[in-house]
């Protein structure tokens, strides 16, 4: 199945016992788009993203990611997506180089490709001096950039970022977003969850999740006009406040 949509979700739900974490959400993400997934903690963002990555089975509904169904084709999806979560730490006790080599290996890249990619990444990230030091000695901002780069090793067409900038200082966050733009400019789709409202401004389109449902979806400019507000922060507070 080939579509021009990177992600297409229709009535997707996930229940944990009686608790409904994700409640019949539907939306589509275009190829090359930076799609923001906003919501307070516990709104169901992570559950939704996990289903799209094949880490969780949906209770009901359907979704396709890179053209493959999350109900039947998760192994194909996994080859075509990158994923990085806030919790994602590289292996602290491995060196920068060893981390890159490991992740290259589990994506089945050839040895030459891994060594090319390793050199390329290390020079892109200016990590030449650090390539043989343990990852735990890197500053957090660098670790996150390294993590992002490793999750792109296998050249996925869609990249899922689950609160990638949690706990990072504003300057590192800005740098991180520069990389996200750079990734999108290469035609990759970026699916990003965040609860920093200033980051929402950087997205092409955003959706706002509340109690398992998507309650608003549109471009930041469009939403500002609709709610007659100047920042995403104000929009978010007024929408969540109403509900």
Contacts with other proteins by CB under 8 A lie at 53-57, 75, 78-79, 81, 83-85, 87-94, 98, 101-108, 151
CB 73 to other proteins: min, Å? 12
CB 102 to other proteins: min, Å? 5
In 3D, which of 214, 192, 239 has the Cα closest to residue 61? 214
* Between 8 and 99, CB nearer to other proteins: 99
CB 83 to other proteins: min, Å? 4
- The whole-angstrom separation of Cα 94 and Cα 112 is 21
User: Rounded to the nearest 5 degrees, what angle is found at the Cα of 122, between the Cα atoms of 79 and 155?
Assistant: 20
* Between 39 and 54, CB nearer to other proteins: 54
* Between 38 and 56, CB nearer to other proteins: 56
- The whole-angstrom separation of Cα 122 and Cα 30 is 31
CB 167 to other proteins: min, Å? 13
Residue 202 near residue 196 (C-beta atoms within 8 A): no
* Between 92 and 155, CB nearer to other proteins: 92
CB 81 to other proteins: min, Å? 7
SS (H, E, C) 144-185: HHHHHHHCCCCCCCEEEEECCCCCCCHHHHHHHHHHHHHHHH
* Between 188 and 205, CB nearer to other proteins: 188
């Amino acid at each position: 199945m080939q579509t021009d949509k990177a992600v297409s979700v229709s009535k997707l739900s996930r229940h944990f016992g009686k608790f409904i974490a994700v409640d019949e959400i539907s939306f589509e993400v275009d190829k090359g788009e930076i799609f923001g997934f906003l919501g307070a903690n516990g709104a169901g963002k992570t559950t939704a993203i996990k289903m799209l990555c094949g880490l969780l089975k949906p209770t009901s509904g359907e979704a396709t990611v890179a053209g493959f169904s999350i109900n039947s084709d998760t192994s194909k999806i996994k080859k075509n997506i990158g994923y990085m979560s806030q919790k994602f730490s590289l292996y602290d006790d491995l060196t920068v180089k060893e981390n890159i080599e490991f992740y290259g290996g589990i994506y089945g890249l050839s040895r030459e490709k891994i060594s090319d990619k390793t050199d390329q990444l290390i020079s892109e990230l200016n990590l030449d001096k650090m390539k043989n030091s343990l990852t735990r000695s890197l500053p957090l901002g660098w670790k996150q950039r390294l993590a992002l780069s490793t999750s792109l090793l296998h050249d996925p067409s869609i990249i899922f970022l689950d609160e990638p900038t949690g706990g990072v200082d504003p300057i590192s966050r800005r740098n991180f977003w520069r990389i996200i733009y750079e990734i999108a400019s290469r035609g990759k789709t970026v699916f990003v969850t965040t609860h920093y409202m200033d980051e929402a401004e950087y997205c092409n389109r955003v959706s706002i999740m509340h109690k398992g449902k998507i309650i608003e979806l549109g471009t930041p400019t469009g939403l500002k006009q609709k709610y007659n507000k100047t920042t995403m922060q104000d929009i978010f507070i007024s929408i969540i406040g109403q509900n």
